[in-house]
Each structure stands twice: as structure tokens, then as C-alpha cells.
Structure 1
Amino acid sequence: MNIAEIRSLQSFPSKKELDLRVRAFLFHHKQSLSEGTLTILKYIWRHSVKFPGVSFAKVETIQKKTNKSRSTVIRAINCLEKNGLLKRVPTLRTNGKRGVNILVFQAEGIEELPEVETKTAAPSSVNNSHDTPSNEQAAPEEIPAEEEIKQCPPVIDADYLPSYIPESFLTVTRPFLTPNDILSAWKSAQHAYQKVNLTQPIEWYIEQINRTFKRAVFAQRQGTIKKTFLGYFYGGLKEAFIQIVRKEVMADSSTLYYNWLDDAQ
């Protein structure tokens, strides 16, 4: 591929945006990924900075540098592609036959790091040297089903989500989100709840949570969300909770002093 073709694959304007995308993905999905997948992801991430989001690392190179088996590398790439973070882009040799796959990080995704989340450090050492495409083929490889399950849990139905997620929240979110994203959205709601001094359990405020989610969906449809959907939902819910706290405090005649500045944190 020539430089123009490679640049057309570039999915991020800079390394900073690439890092934010991968850190957000890890925040929401790290617990479901195997140690091998995480190691391989970090290697590909480190080798996608010359053209942010585009990696020329071959399967054989990843295998050698991470000390993982070829099947583990293939499973990891399959897993990351299934979860929407990576995409394989095939290349052609000069003789017209298939060449290696270029790995491209996908910019699209609703994951976002919560505002209160401490920034995760980018890979400790970024190597600016890149593996260039060669004539070796790196086609996907078939993996036994039981091994694929261990490496990357399959997409599940919303009925398998934890029982602590309120049914009404599932009803509201199911038409718009995947099961994994529903879980992430509820965790965002819990995170927002923990940052304010509400007097009742989170389930007490489920109507407000559902209304805020619907507003976020409307904003997304209108194209007014500048960053990501979950980040917008989290911010809107935190602000809504702060307003509820103020109403609860004002309604409590026994409360003489209240630190309103803490609400803005």
C-alpha cells in the first residue's frame, strides 16, 4: 500500500485520541479480556502511532514479541475485532494475491472514561519502529469454540445481565444498547450516584435515571453529543443527581448548614 492509501485508513487525528479510545475500551471491557488478549492489545497499541490507529504488526511478529502462541494471537485479534475495537484490512501483493492484514483501531464506540476516573497511563514504552507489510499471508485462523469462549466471551442476551440492574432500566436501554453496553451504562449510573450525597438507594431514583438516558438518546439522534454517548449520559445524570440533592436538603428543615461547593466536585 502507498502512503495515501495508508493515510486513508488512519482512524485518529493524533496519538492522544487513540490513547483515549483504547483506555476507555479497557475501562469498560478489561475484566472480560484474558491476560493474553490484554498483552497482545498493548503490543498492537504501541505499534500504531506513526499513523495513529494503524498497525502493520504481523501475526508472526506479535507472536514473537509477546511470547504468545500463534493461536492465542489470532484469538485475541478475533476478540478485539468482535468487540469493535479492531478491524482487519486485507492487502494485496503485487501479483494480485492476498497479503498481510493491516490492523486498524476503530474510532467509533460509545465507551468513555468517566470524568472521575484516574487517567490510565499509556503503554510504558512507545516504539516508533513499525513492521512493514510483507508477502506473508496472515489470514484469520479457525479456533475451537471452547477455546474462543475462554479467550473472548460471546455476545450475550440482555436476559443474562446481573439481576441487580433494575428491570425498568433494562426495558429503556435494551432497544438502543448491546448487553455489554447496558452493563456499562448502569455502572456509569452507579458511579454518578456515588459522587453525590443522595439520601435513598439508587433504585429510588430509577425514573430520573431513565429520563436522563432518554434525553441522551435524543441528543445522540440530534447529533449534539460532542464526545461519546456514555460520557454524555454520565455527565447529565450527575448533574440531575446534584439537583435532587439540593431539593432534598432544602426540604429538610433540620438541615442548617450544607456545603454546596461539594456538589460541583
Structure 2
Amino acid sequence: MRAGNIRQFASFSQFVNVKEFNEHKRYFLERHAGLFTKSEFLAFELLSQYSVVIPGVANAKIDTLVDRGAEKGGSISRASFLRMLRKAKYTGCLVVHKTYRASGGFAHNVFVFQRFDPASGTKVTQRAASENLCESKDKHSEFGEETINLYKNLKDKDLKIRKENVMTNNLSFLSLDDLDESFTPNSVPKDFIHIVKPFYNTAIEIYTFWEKAKLAYNKFTFDRPLEFMVSVVIDAFKSTVFHYKNRKIKATFMQYFYGTLKGMFMVEKRREHMAKVTRYNWIDEPEN
């Protein structure tokens, strides 16, 4: 699909006006209460706000929407936005089309909200079950109290199962790339996480950088453990960021970081070696 102005995608809209779009969005959220986390819900609302020029249709890059959210004080991460999209697509609320430039390469997305039928089979089933239980109570009044208790137990059990299903579903929507820096293993120093997260904010990215640091460290036989050399690793990362921004890196960012860190560790190894060398003191040499 060729990239273009939002008006170009007007035929994708399934709503007569914004009011109808908002009604169907409300039906969806009521039916899928608990589907989104707080940050995912903010992402969903942000995308909805950008889908009013053509009701239910928006065209933008994900990074652009995330940046707009930050400007409005929404503080929505890219990972949260991707999780929201995955859930919305899975439940049939949203269809996402990719567009391409005439010169080649990926351009923006086209997000198309779908109509949602407010009729819920689950609600009908629950009402029918409730009515049947009431009829049973009229016919067998001697078991009324037991029936009520059984209904309450079943209702509580059903609520517990539904809550567990929501949690399980949320996990099924997640991939390793969706976990933010707070999920980084404790083996990675906090100071290192703090430096890396403004540039790479997923747990797996930060963890991979630290594993690279361990690999470089293991090339040498230091007396000090790596945890006592975190400042060296941080300096290597900062140096890599500087040269990357200065367009001096021809390899990948990770490769340059690894090479830089090996060079710094080599210098540290020399210092460690020289500190152990006993120098002969000619000045204080006793006279014969």
C-alpha cells in the first residue's frame, strides 16, 4: 500500500461519524474490561484521538505516536504501544496496514478500528443460568439455601478463573522484546541499567549489552571481579554513544561497544600488572 495523506484512506472507515466510532469503542472496552494495562489503555486512547479526522482511521508511525504521547505527558513506552496493538488486533478491534514510499522502504502505518457488536453471548449465558437457578429454588424450596450457596461458590470460582485468564492472556501477548528495563535480571548492575535505558529501554537489550561486557571481561584474567569495573563498562558505552552520534561508527553499535570495551580492559590489565611489579629503589640502596 502506497503512503499518503489521511484523506487517501477514507474508504477504510467503518463509521458514519466520530460519535458512532466512540460508541463502538465504548462497547469494545466494556466487553473487554481488564484487557489493557494502564499504560496500554493510554496508548489505546492516544491512537483513538488520532482517529477522528477520518472516524476510526489513523495514519502515523508508532514512534511518532509515542513521541506525541510524551509531549502530552502520557509517558507511553514503545513496548506498551506494541502490546496494545497486539491485543487490539487479536480481539478484532483493530487492523493495521503497512505503507511504503514510492522510492522504496517502509513509511507509516494505517490503523483501522473495526465495528464492534455490543451483543455478548457471555452476558446472555449468565442471565440464563441465573434464571434456571431461581426456577430450581421455586420447585425445590427445601434446597434453597444450598442452591444459593452453590451459586455464590460457582460465581466466585468463575470470577477467579476469569481473572486468571486475563492475566494469562496478557502474558501470552507479551514477547521478550516487550519487557521494559524493570524486568532486567538482578545480575546486571543498576548503575549500568540507568545509563543504558535512555537509549535501549527493553530488558533484553540491556541484558545483551551486559553479556557482551562479560564476554570482553573474560578475555582477560583480572584480579578484580567485573562488578568492581562497572565504571569502565559505562565509560565504554558512553564513548560508543558519542562516536555513534558523531557518525564515526561503521560497524554496528554493539560491535563498536564490544571493541571499545576490550581496548579499555586492555589498558586496565596493564595498570593492574604494573601495580604488582616491584620496582628497584636505587635511591635508598644501602652503601657497602
TM range (shorter): 0.3 to 0.5
TM-score (ref. length: structure 2): 0.37
* Larger-Rg structure: 2
Higher helix share: 2
TM-score (ref. length: structure 1): 0.40
